[in-house]
Amino acid sequence: AQSVAQPEDQVNVAEGNPLTVKCTYSVSGNPYLFWYVQYPNRGLQFLLKYITGDNLVKGSYGFEAEFNKSQTSFHLKKPSALVSDSALYFCAVRDVSSNTGKLIFGQGTTLQVKP
């Protein structure tokens, strides 16, 4: 069965410092991987995706993520955090071999960036 794990409920980082939000996944085939961000009382906003190719993926607002097949991980990173990055972050996976667009989401990680 497909699954996604975000091991940290909350990540705290000081403004200007690098941030990492962790994600590991499990699928039977090859994965499509996504990161979304959610601000209070809003829907999910797409940040970036990994489909194939380069393991380092660059996305919106300076975020990037590294796909590591051997560790089945897709950690979200940003070199310098902003207070405005504070939000709820979700990692999601879809099995490429499945005939559905269904996404499996992790439980979410709250990112708190302090000035």
Partner 1 sequence: KAGVTQTPRYLIKTRGQQVTLSCSPISGHRSVSWYQQTPGQGLQFLFEYFSETQRNKGNFPGRFSGRQFSNSRSEMNVSTLELGDSALYLCASSFRTQPEEGYTFGSGTRLTVV
Q: Which residue from 79, 32, 22, 25 is spatially nearest to 53, judged by alpha carbons?
A: 32
Q: Residue 86 burial by CB count (10 A; 0-12/13-18/19+): exposed, middle or buried?
A: middle
User: To the nearest whole angstrom, how small is the minimum distance from the Cβ of residue 14 to partner 1?
Assistant: 27
Stretch 51-90: interaction string toward partner 1, x if CB under 8 A: x--------------------------------------x
**Vertex 76, ends 74 and 64: CA angle to 5°?**
105
Under the binding rule (CB under 8 A), the answer on residue 102 touching partner 1 is yes
In the list 25, 34, 63, 74, the residue contacting partner 1 (rule: CB under 8 A) is 34
Under the binding rule (CB under 8 A), the answer on residue 31 touching partner 1 is no
CB 51 within 8 A of CB 36: no
Query: Applying CB under 8 A, what is the total number of residues that bind partner 1?
Result: 25
Cα of 7 vs its chain's centroid, Å: 12
Smaller CB distance to partner 1: residue 49 or 77?
A: 49
| Residues that bind partner 1 in the complex, under the rule CB under 8 A | 32, 34, 36, 41-46, 49, 51, 90, 92, 94, 98-108
